[in-house]
């Protein structure tokens, strides 16, 4: 399975944009890029996913590099509730499971 590399931790101030990077240099053409986040003392929750094009939803935006070797999760205005561990995961198109890494712990300061 292709692997992802994320920074262990990042910090942001409230109401500022946050860009969470993910490197996946061994990604294959049929791997989807998924992002989940885990708030303290909760199970993970789905954030967004994409294949080649940038994606937007109510929670975040996903920017995918043209060569697909990296991607960035964008939180447009961080809130204190966005403090969580964010996981970048590659899912092969026919795979029926997700393989989580250790993610990026995002701290948001008021």
Partner 1 sequence: DAGITQSPRHKVTETGTPVTLRCHQTENHRYMYWYRQDPGHGLRLIHYSYGVKDTDKGEVSDGYSVSRSKTEDFLLTLESATSSQTSVYFCATTPTSTYEQYFGPGTRLTVT
Six-digit token string for 28: 């294959």
Does 53 help bind partner 1 (rule: CB under 8 A)? no
Smallest Cα–Cα separation from 106: which of 89, 86, 87? 86
Does 49 help bind partner 1 (rule: CB under 8 A)? yes
- The whole-angstrom separation of Cα 21 and Cα 3 is 14
Q: SS3 of 36, please?
A: strand
First CA to last CA distance, the chain: 39
Taking contact as CB under 8 A, which single stretch among the options 19-27, 57-65, 69-77, 84-92 is the one that binds partner 1? 84-92
Does 2 help bind partner 1 (rule: CB under 8 A)? no
Select 18 or 47, whichever has its Cβ closest to partner 1.
47
Residues that bind partner 1 (CB under 8 A): 32, 34, 36, 42-46, 49, 85, 87, 91, 93, 95-103
């Amino acid at each position: 399975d292709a692997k992802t590399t994320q920074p262990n931790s990042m910090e942001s101030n409230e109401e500022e944009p946050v860009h969470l990077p993910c490197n996946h240099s061994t990604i294959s053409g049929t791997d989807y890029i998924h992002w989940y986040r885990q708030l303290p003392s909760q199970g993970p929750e789905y954030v967004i996913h994409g294949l080649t094009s940038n994606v937007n939803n109510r929670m975040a935006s996903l920017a995918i590099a043209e060569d697909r070797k990296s991607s960035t999760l964008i939180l447009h205005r961080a809130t204190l509730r966005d403090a969580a561990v964010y996981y970048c995961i590659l899912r092969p198109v026919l795979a029926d499971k997700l393989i989580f890494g250790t993610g990026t712990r995002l701290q948001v300061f008021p």
